[in-house]
Amino acid sequence: MAEYPQVGHDLLEGRRIVIGVSGGIAAYKTCGLVSALKKRGAEVRVVMTENATRFVTPLTFSVLTGAAVEYDMWAERAEDALTHISLQEFAEALLVCPATANIMGKVANGIADDLLTAGIMAASCPVGFAPAMNCEMWHKPAVQDNVAKLRERGCWIVGPCYGALASGAVGEGRLVGSQQLIACLERMLLEQQPPGIDLRGRKVLITGGPTREYMDPVRFLSNASSGKMGHALAEQAAAAGAEVTLISGASQQIAEALGFAGEFETVEVASAAEMLAAVQDNIAGVDVFIAAAAVVDYTFAEIAEQKIKKTAERLTVELGRTRDTVKWVAASPQRPQMVVGFAAESQDVVSNAAAKLADKKLDLIVANSIVEPGSGFGADTNRVSILGPDDFRADLPLMSKWAVAGAVLDEVARRLP
């Protein structure tokens, strides 16, 4: 199979990102974020508040970034040092992580009394805040008012999430994970420099998440799919101007917790049969169908109406094949112009995906390993190969599922008439 030029490239590679660190206990977690950004090829500079240096030393971030760390507004300036003015010339995106109530309050009310707040005020790039604080503080009206002001002015807010806090309390106020922070940065960069995918006037139908095949009211057969890939595809397609419907085995609450909240319709289903029925109900007039769902291949021949009691040492059940949704779509009289499948494999990934591509008569198939670290079910990242029936093959590097979605849709848009 011929090697074609890479369809998508890592959204972060070569991009100039400023990470602002304010004085919260979660500052130590920012070290992991900076390290992950560097591994993705981003050029990272760190600006700290004076209070932040009490939690993590500037030397730590300097070692991680390979660049001087700025924190003193009045320090002697080297030729390549960032000032609040040169910061706006360097940064393509600026994320404050962690963002304390103090720094968000300052920015929301126009106060710029240190290097970081002055840099934010002068910034011409997208600016984001990743709040982290005590749960009681987060819910105070003054804090929420300031967050609302920042949102209204176009700032990105990512988090906080619910969990255990440094104080010992449990509640909303915990800094979100590195992958959610990175996904936010990717979206900020796309806002500044959109990828050029144009799906205006197109109707896109996507399946995502797992399906569940119930044996009785409480037990079911399923898999570890989180629904992240399907939601990322739906949000990216909607951002590219398409009319999007997502049929998902992952609930909307899960999607919102993952940070996906795009302008698209969501149809929630449970079983493979329900997913196929929903696809059949929505296939009319669709231009692009993308089957990203991890559909269970087998279902129970008989479903017990009551919970099966634990009696015998062994339980034998009969399973039957579920219907193949993407194969049905590809053979349908209402077949869309583009039918795209996904192949999650544990071995011979590309060859198995190529066989599915031919057998199901697809226009593209996206193959990934479910056993490779950082790839597959539940992960925030994925490493995929995109295959086409014309011997097309594009191998993408490990990147976030949001970035993978952009690469897939880029190739879809290129192939549409």
Domains, in order of start, for the chain: 16-192 (3.40.50.1950), 203-415 (3.40.50.10300)
Give per-residue pLDDT as tens, 243-286: 999 999 887 666 655 555 567 889 999 999 999 999 999 999 99
pLDDT at 94 over 80: yes
Give the dihedral of Cα atoms 269, 275, 277, 282; nearest 10 deg.
90
- For residue 7, pLDDT over 70 is answered with no
CA distance 34 to 266: 34
For residues 50-60, average pLDDT: 92
pLDDT at 407 over 70: yes
Q: Which of 115-129, 146-160, 179-193 has the lowest mean pLDDT?
A: 179-193
Checking if the pLDDT of 5 tops 60, the result is no
Tell me which amino acid residue 273 is.
A
Q: HSE-up of 260 (CA within 13 Å, CB side)? A: 31
How confident is the model at residue 1, as a pLDDT? 34
Judged against a pLDDT cut of 90, whether residue 192 lies above it is answered with: no
End-to-end CA distance of the chain: 25
Q: Which helix (H) or strand (E) holds 367?
A: strand 364-369
SS3 content of the chain, % helix, strand, coil (to 5): 35, 20, 45
- What is the percentage of the chain residues whose pLDDT exceeds 90? 46
Determine which one of 223, 282, 368, 382 is catalytic. 223
**Does residue 85 register a pLDDT over 70?**
no
Residue 406, C-beta contacts closer than 8 angstroms, at least 6 positions apart: 8, 11, 190, 195, 197, 236
β 220-221/213-214 pair status = antiparallel
For the chain, how many residues are written?
A: 417
Spatial distance between the Cα atoms of 38 and 386, rounded to a whole number of angstroms: 26
Q: Which of 117-131, 181-195, 287-301, 386-400 has the lowest mean pLDDT?
A: 181-195
**204-244 tens-digit pLDDT:** 999 998 999 999 898 888 888 888 889 889 988 888 889 99
- 172: confidence class by pLDDT, cuts 50, 70, 90: confident
Higher pLDDT, 371 or 337: 337
Q: Given a cut of 70, is residue 356 above it in pLDDT? A: yes
How sure is the predictor about 412, in pLDDT bands with cuts at 50, 70 and 90? very high
Tokens encoding 90:
């360097």
Q: What is the average pLDDT across 161-175?
A: 82
Which of 77-86, 190-199, 215-224 is the least confident region? 77-86
Is 223 a residue of the active site?
Answer: yes
User: Using CA atoms, how far apart are residues 325 and 328, in angstroms rounded to an integer?
Assistant: 5
Alpha-carbon distance of 323 to 125, in angstroms, equals: 48
